[in-house]
């Protein structure tokens, strides 16, 4: 008896719809086992992870705050992945965007600069993120260097650069030698939506980005070209699409979005530039993109779900002393299950029984 | 011990994990599978390797724990990419994310603990030769093993029939399948070998390089190993040169930081990563006569019947 994989005649739409749910279900089962191994009660641990954050308004706002960068980065990454190029350095583009925007905030600190500061910071973040993402894209189209490795290497470089700035030239003189800039001025801060709350304007910008991506992919020729280049490169060549140009475009967009996400995070929830502004948003966004099956609306839902795991992870650490690394394990396992379940959209399993004689023509 | 001798010794030590991990990945890629999870397998190898050595007091058992951990993770990758025909790039990334989380979980109990580092060879007379003695006859076992591994892999790939079949599968899995070679089975062994090497390379870090474990201690070495495979044009001999070159960059920037040249330390720390980018660009640019990568690298294969 043998279990073999074979290609379906056409993609299964039923599986396409339910596969993220199956993946989440399998992940929760796996996590229950892990909790039990760690000596925690799985039921109450899952409750702290997935139910408790949904029951109070502070946590609900916090989920939206965490989902903001995740969704924004993942939307950009999904364009790259649809075009079958692999930007995995969004974390670096996020940091560089944060640095570029912070430059203006630091320079205008204490001056009577007007309300143009924040929009200019967001623009700087977008441009810097896009330029930083164009480095691996240009290395790819000009020299054929792997965009995966180049974009990833630049994450470490961006991290060290940010570290240098906040320990060196930009360090707050009144900051007791902590590696951080001074708190940004009010004109350089992303305003909150509800007075006294945490939810900020970035969430609205993210929703606009989701809508724009849905229009780009569903209603424009460029969006169509991106899909074709990824799904059928040969057909794209016959169609006369310029794949190099599309690589540069998708990298620039994803870098810009990651950069904006970076400066929004710094000028919003964090309020100043410091190391460790990202708990790996750029990498978690890769999971968000796949869990949302590279579809803008799907990414929005997936982003909220992954944000829930960050908040749940923090609460589980406080309430049940569950290590924070469990969240990363959870995210990794989730991505595995999502990818595995997605495989069943295109393939199916068939059991081959040894007793049955298969004639050579029947195959 | 002179400064030059000290530098050469530390370059050899810094290069060895890169060389071991890259050798494993080279075999995996030669079979046509791109496993981007090297960093994840290395970091779990480091945590398990340290754990094994700390609990038993034995470097050998620590190294074996690293090998087993890396192999088990690579089996997940093999199940996904070979059994379920999932995209190799995405699966490799998933493996790295999972590995970083797992290593933190496994290593949480060992942070701050110390072990006795792996012993160095001592041959009376030979090791005491000035300059060359320590370098040639006074290393730890991992360094000798890594060189033996590269030679063994070179012999395997170019001097054995199985090696030839493995390379054929990496270049054209459809033809290899048509000729009756077990494509998926050989790929699975290649992936497992890559995982074992990555686990061992990770274990080297806390067992011999620094005698303690810190989370995230691989610091991108898995990714640099992947770049080294590209640098080597998928040939074992060039891998040795590449690994030692990168080890040298790592060590020299550390010495430059120590010498206090007035350059901020972060810029020096960024050098190995920048060097990787530059080398990737130069190597890719130098290849005018088409790519030297295995032709079927990264392609999904589902046998038809």
Per the CB < 8 A criterion, the answer to whether A154 and B223 are in contact is no
Nearest CA in chain A to B96: A332
Per the CB < 8 A criterion, the answer to whether B89 and B36 are in contact is yes
User: What count of other Cβ atoms lies within 10 Å of the Cβ of residue B267?
Assistant: 16
Question: pTM (2 decimals)?
Answer: 0.90
Q: What does the alpha-carbon distance between residue B116 and residue B285 come to, in Å, rounded to a whole number?
A: 45
Tens-digit pLDDT profile for residues A259-294: 999 999 999 999 999 998 998 899 999 999 998 989
Residue from the list B94, B269, B277 with its beta carbon closest to the beta carbon of A153 = B277
Residue from the list A135, A145, A342 with its beta carbon closest to the beta carbon of B284 = A145
| Most confidently modeled range among A139-148, A218-227, B29-38 | B29-38
Residue from the list B94, B223, B305 with its beta carbon closest to the beta carbon of A152 = B223
Q: What does the alpha-carbon distance between residue A243 and residue A251 come to, in Å, rounded to a whole number?
A: 12
Contact A325 B84 (CB under 8 A): no
- φ, ψ (nearest 5 deg) of residue A231: -80, -35
Q: How confident is the model at residue A362 (pLDDT cuts 50, 70, 90)?
A: very low
Distance from CA of A153 to the nearest CA of B (A): 5
Residue from the list A156, A329, A336 with its beta carbon closest to the beta carbon of B80 = A336
Instruction: Name the average pLDDT for chain A.
Output: 90
Tell me the chain B residues in contact with residue A331 when contact means C-beta distances shorter than 8 Å.
Answer: 97, 101
Per the CB < 8 A criterion, the answer to whether B272 and B39 are in contact is no
Per the CB < 8 A criterion, the answer to whether A102 and A264 are in contact is no
| CATH top-level class of B3-286 | mainly alpha
| Residues found in chain B | 305
ipTM of model: 0.88
Question: In the 3-class helix/strand/coil scheme, how is A201-224 assigned residue by residue?
Answer: HHHHHHHHHHHHHHHHHHHCHHHH
Residue from the list B108, B230, B267 with its beta carbon closest to the beta carbon of A146 = B230
Q: How confident is the model at residue A174 (pLDDT cuts 50, 70, 90)?
A: confident
Question: Per-residue pLDDT averaged across A33-51, rounded?
Answer: 89
Chosen from A96, A336, A361 to mutate, greatest number of chain B CBs within 10 A: A336
Q: What is residue A2's predicted lDDT score, i.e. its pLDDT?
A: 74
Tell me the chain B residues in contact with residue A163 when contact means C-beta distances shorter than 8 Å.
Answer: 266
Q: What is residue A68's predicted lDDT score, i.e. its pLDDT?
A: 96
Tens-digit pLDDT profile for residues B59-89: 999 999 999 999 999 999 999 999 998 989 8
Q: What is residue B291's predicted lDDT score, i.e. its pLDDT?
A: 67
Q: What is residue B287's predicted lDDT score, i.e. its pLDDT?
A: 65
Tens-digit pLDDT profile for residues A75-125: 999 999 999 999 999 999 999 999 999 999 999 988 888 889 999 999 999
Contact A144 B267 (CB under 8 A): no
Tens-digit pLDDT profile for residues B157-202: 999 999 999 999 999 999 999 999 999 999 999 999 999 999 999 9
Distance from CA of B207 to the nearest CA of A (A): 23
First-to-last CA distance in chain A?
Answer: 17
Alpha-carbon distance values, A216 to A56, A220, A222, A224, A288 (Å): 36, 5, 7, 8, 19
Longest CA–CA span in chain A (Å) reads: 86
Residue B289: is its pLDDT beyond 60? no
Give A2's strand partners.
A352
Q: What is residue A343's predicted lDDT score, i.e. its pLDDT?
A: 86
Chosen from A306, A329, A345 to mutate, greatest number of chain B CBs within 10 A: A329
Give, as one character, the DSSP assignment of residue A5: E
Q: What is residue A361's predicted lDDT score, i.e. its pLDDT?
A: 44
Q: What is residue B290's predicted lDDT score, i.e. its pLDDT?
A: 58
Residue with the larger pLDDT of the pair A360 and A1: A1
Residue with the larger pLDDT of the pair B292 and B149: B149
């Amino acid at each position: 008896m043998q279990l073999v994989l074979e290609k379906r005649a056409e993609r299964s739409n039923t599986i396409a719809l339910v596969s993220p749910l199956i993946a989440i279900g399998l992940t929760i089962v796996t996590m229950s086992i892990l909790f039990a191994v760690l000596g925690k009660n799985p039921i109450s641990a899952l409750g702290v992870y997935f139910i408790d954050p949904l029951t109070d308004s502070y946590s609900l706002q916090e989920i939206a705050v965490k989902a903001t960068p995740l969704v924004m980065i993942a939307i950009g990454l999904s364009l790259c992945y649809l075009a079958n190029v692999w930007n995995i350095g969004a974390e670096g583009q996020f940091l560089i965007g944060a640095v570029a925007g912070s430059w203006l905030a630091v320079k205008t600190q204490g001056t009577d600069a007007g309300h143009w500061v924040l929009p200019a910071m967001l623009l700087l973040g977008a441009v810097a993120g896009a330029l930083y993402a164009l480095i691996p894209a240009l290395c790819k189209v000009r020299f054929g260097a792997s965009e995966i490795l180049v974009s990833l290497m630049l994450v470490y470089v961006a991290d060290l650069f940010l570290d240098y700035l906040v320990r060196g030239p930009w360090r707050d003189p009144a900051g007791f030698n902590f590696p951080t800039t001074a708190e940004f001025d009010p004109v350089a801060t992303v305003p909150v939506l509800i007075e006294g709350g945490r939810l900020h304007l970035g969430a609205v910008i993210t929703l606009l980005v989701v809508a724009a991506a849905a229009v780009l992919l569903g209603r424009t020729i460029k969006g169509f070209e991106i899909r074709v280049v990824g799904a059928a490169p040969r057909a794209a060549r016959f169609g006369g699409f310029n794949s190099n140009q599309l690589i540069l475009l998708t990298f620039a967009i994803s870098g810009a979005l990651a950069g904006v996400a970076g400066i929004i995070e710094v000028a919003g929830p964090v309020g100043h530039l410091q190391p460790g502004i990202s708990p790996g948003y750029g990498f978690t966004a890769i999971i968000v993109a796949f869990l949302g099956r590279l579809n803008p609306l799907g990414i929005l839902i997936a982003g909220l779900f992954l944000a829930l795991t960050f908040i749940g992870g923090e609460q589980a650490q406080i309430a049940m002393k569950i290590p924070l690394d469990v969240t990363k394990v959870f995210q990794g396992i989730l991505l595995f299950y999502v990818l595995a379940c997605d495989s069943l959209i295109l393939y199916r399993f068939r059991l081959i029984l040894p007793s049955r004689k298969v004639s050579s023509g029947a195959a | 011990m002179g400064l030059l001798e000290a530098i050469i010794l530390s370059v050899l030590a810094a290069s060895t994990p890169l060389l071991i991990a890259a050798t494993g990945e080279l075999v995996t890629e030669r079979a046509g599978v791109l496993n981007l999870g090297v960093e994840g397998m290395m970091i779990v190898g480091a945590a398990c390797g340290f754990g094994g050595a700390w609990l038993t007091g034995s470097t050998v058992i620590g190294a074996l724990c690293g090998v087993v951990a890396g192999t088990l993770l690579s089996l997940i990758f093999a199940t996904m990419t070979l059994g379920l025909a999932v995209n190799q790039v995405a699966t490799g990334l998933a493996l790295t994310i999972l590995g970083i989380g797992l290593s933190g979980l496994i290593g949480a109990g060992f942070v701050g603990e110390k072990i006795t580092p792996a012993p160095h060879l001592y041959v009376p007379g030979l090791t005491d030769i000035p300059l060359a003695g320590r370098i040639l006859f006074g290393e730890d076992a991992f360094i000798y093993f890594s060189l033996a591994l590269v030679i063994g892999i070179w012999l395997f790939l170019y001097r054995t029939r199985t090696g030839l079949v493995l390379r054929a599968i990496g270049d054209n899995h459809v033809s290899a399948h048509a000729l009756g070679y077990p494509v998926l089975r050989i790929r699975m062994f290649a992936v497992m070998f890559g995982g074992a090497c990555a686990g061992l390379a990770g274990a080297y870090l806390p067992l011999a390089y620094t005698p303690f474990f810190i989370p995230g201690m691989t610091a991108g070495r898995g990714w640099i190993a992947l770049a080294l495979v590209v640098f080597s044009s998928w040939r074992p001999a060039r891998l040795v040169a590449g690994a030692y070159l990168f080890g040298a960059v790592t060590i020299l920037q550390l010495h430059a930081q120590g010498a206090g040249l007035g350059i901020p330390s972060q810029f020096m720390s960024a050098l190995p990563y920048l060097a990787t980018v530059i080398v990737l660009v130069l190597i890719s640019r130098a290849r005018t006569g088409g790519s030297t990568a295995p032709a079927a690298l990264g392609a999904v294969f589902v046998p038809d019947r």
